[in-house]
Amino acid sequence: MHPKPVAFVVTCEHGGNAIPRHYRRLFHGQARLLSTHRAFDIGALDLARSLARLLCAPLFYSTTSRLVIDLNRSLHHRRVFSEFTRSLPPHDREHLMSHYYRPYRARIEEHIAQKIASGARVIHVSAHSFTRVLNGRTRTTDIGLLYDPSRSFETRVCCAWQERLTTTAPELRVRRNYPYRGTADGFTSYLRTRFPNKRYAGIELEVSQGLPLASVREWRACRALLAHSLAAAA
């Protein structure tokens, strides 16, 4: 029996720091904050674009700052709205959910459902980046592969992906479920409740911001390595 074909899907929930015009008053004087990781994942959209191009995959992304509404959080999560937006009147928060949050997530969920219905196994890569130091603690990795260890498809892909990365580029420190747990609240965690283990693998790819802030050539090579090693591991 031949295995079902693999379809890649690439997303980037924190691709930019744009503030919708109607809400810019809330961020007056916050230009410095909006240039930091608190507002968006530095380098993540470049990464997502390269993955989508090299894997011949559709790309879904948002450039609205997560300080407006965090597309990677569940609506019940305490940080889905930031300190700038959580005190907005209910109709404004509903506007953010109906114009930014729900349409983005619904498009991706619908696309994945269509691919699975057509007979494919879907590998969904959600591209993110992380700061080298957080709350005084240094993160000891370059690349993190976040997944749910109880799901065999995700586990197989991430173990094989890690092996290929460390074999090809032993100078890179690659860890699984670090610097965050793959089962923590997030878009992939939600999608796991919608699609079966054998047909959907939701992987959050976390890269240290030291990688996109390196030389242009090194960062380009790293993005290509991530794409080619995933294709070989799938």
Per-residue pLDDT of the chain (234 residues; tens, 9 = 90+): 457 899 999 999 999 999 999 999 999 999 999 999 999 999 999 999 999 999 999 999 999 999 999 999 999 999 999 999 999 999 999 999 999 999 999 999 999 999 999 999 999 999 999 998 666 777 789 999 999 999 999 999 999 999 999 999 999 999 999 999 999 999 999 999 999 999 999 999 999 999 998 899 999 999 999 999 999 999
- 165 in Cβ contact with 82 (< 8 Å): no
- Token duo for residue 181: 């747990």
Judged by DSSP in three states, 195 sits in coil
- 46 in Cβ contact with 223 (< 8 Å): yes
pLDDT of amino acid 138: 75
pLDDT of amino acid 120: 97
Query: Which residue type occupies 2?
Result: H
Beta-bridge mates of residue 18: 64
Domains of the chain (ranges, CATH numbers): 6-233 (3.40.630.40)
**Of 48, 50, 58, 52, the residue nearest 12 (C-alpha):** 48
With tokens 């404004």, the residue in question is: 92
pLDDT of amino acid 159: 98
- Token duo for residue 164: 């290929």
pLDDT of amino acid 33: 97
- Token duo for residue 222: 């790293």
pLDDT of amino acid 50: 98
- 147 in Cβ contact with 176 (< 8 Å): yes
Cβ-based neighbour number of residue 19 at 10 Å = 19
- 139 in Cβ contact with 24 (< 8 Å): no
